[in-house]
Every structure is written in structure tokens, then in C-alpha cells.
Amino acid sequence: MLTKKQKDLLVFIHERMTSEGVAPSFDEMKTALDLKSKSGVHRLVTGLVERGYLERLPNRARALDVKRLPDDMVTDNAANTNSENGNHLFQHDSGGVRHVPLYGKIAAGTPIEAIRHEGEYIDAPLSMMGGKGDFYALTVDGESMKDVGICDGDMAIIRRTEEARNGDIVVALVNGEEVTLKTLMKKGAKVDLVPENKDHKVQTYNADQVQIQGVLSSIIRMY
């Protein structure tokens, strides 16, 4: 039997994943449950894992997966949650893993110097990649995409492509030397790279200044 705090946390995680396609951060869990520290969140998560309600996926990022809900909650789909654009976030891996190159950090704030692969790889669940393609991973640096659930320290799985639609979250190479993770909005000869944080400004460039290097496929949260 779950404690009230455990149940409240499980419901909060499930509702966030259902509505936004991404699990909340530990800071968000702490605030939602009015806890004094994140150590309390860690204890609650561990208890839910031990009781079979949550699972930490077997990869380096230890992503969370809701395995089941309390019997008094009605749900049609507790285990797998998709975002509206088809991204698979924090899902249970039922089809193996892929060796994905890790390209270091990418700014979710001010653009940073173009990143390069230095030989490190991660094992990412195939279920998080949304189909065939060439994928790579980046570590998010900053909070400018936090309003869509992308937080500092998260690992972004990117599908390599040079084409994207308005509203896609993309990896954009700016002026051939700076890389950033933003929402894409094309406006004629201009391109807006839009942060998902009201405290950050939209970055506007000429279309020929921006090269799309990939589209976000999924997010793995680091705990």
C-alpha cells in the first residue's frame, strides 16, 4: 500500500507525462509535493521503484517509466506516453538499444561553439527513436526550453536531418559556428529560433544563417 506522498508523486509524474510527454524534474517534484529537499523526492521515487510502480530504465540516464498506477485510478495507458508531435519520452524499452554517438553539450540558452564528436557513445532505447534514421545525443545546457519539459542536464536524442517544419524543436547551426536547441519558426527570408521560456528572447536570423542539423526525437532525464 502506498503512502499519501508516494501516491501524490506517482499521480503527478503520470499526469505530467500524459499532458506534456515528459517526466517532471526532481525540482518540480519537490515543489509539487511541498518537500523541503530533493532527498525526500529520491526516497519517494526509490520506494515507488521497489513497489513496482516506477522503473528506472537500464541506461546511463536512468530515465523513469510509469509501470502501473494504484488500483483506484483509472487509466488506459499508464506505461507509455507520447507527446503530440510523436516524440517518445521516458518510455519502456521493449525493442533493444542503439549505440548513439554523444556530441557533448548544446545550449538551451545562448548559442555555444559548434560541438564535435569526441568518441563517446551512449546506449539509447530503440523505442525512443521513433523509427529509422541516423541519431546522435546531446546534453542540454541551460533552461531556455524548460516550459516544454527540457531541463538543464537532460540528454536530447536527435534525428539527423536538414529539413524541419515550423514548431519542430531543432538543433540549429548558426553562422557555421554556433549550435543551439530551439523551436523553429520560418518567416519568409527570416528564421526565428524560439526559446520555450518567457525569460529568454527569440533569436532572429536570415534564413541563410541557419542550418538545421537535426530534429528532437526524445529526451532522457538525468537524475
Is 217 among the catalytic positions?
no
Q: Could you tell me how far CA 173 lies from the centroid of its own chain?
A: 20
Instruction: Identify the CA nearest to 216 among candidates 122, 117, 148, 116.
Output: 148
- Three-class DSSP category at 110: coil
Grid cell 499508464 in the structure block, residue: 78
Is 182 among the catalytic positions?
yes
Rama region for 104: left / alpha / beta (φ>0; ψ in -120 to 50; rest)? left
- 49: CB partners within 8 A, 6+ apart: 55, 56
Selected catalytic residue, list 7, 146, 182, 218:
182
User: Using an 8 Å Cβ cutoff, are 209 and 157 in contact?
Assistant: no
Please give the single-letter amino acid code of residue 109. Answer: G
- What element of type H or E holds 193? strand 190-194
Q: Could you tell me how far CA 136 lies from the centroid of its own chain?
A: 14
Selected catalytic residue, list 25, 83, 144, 217:
144
Active site residues: 144, 182
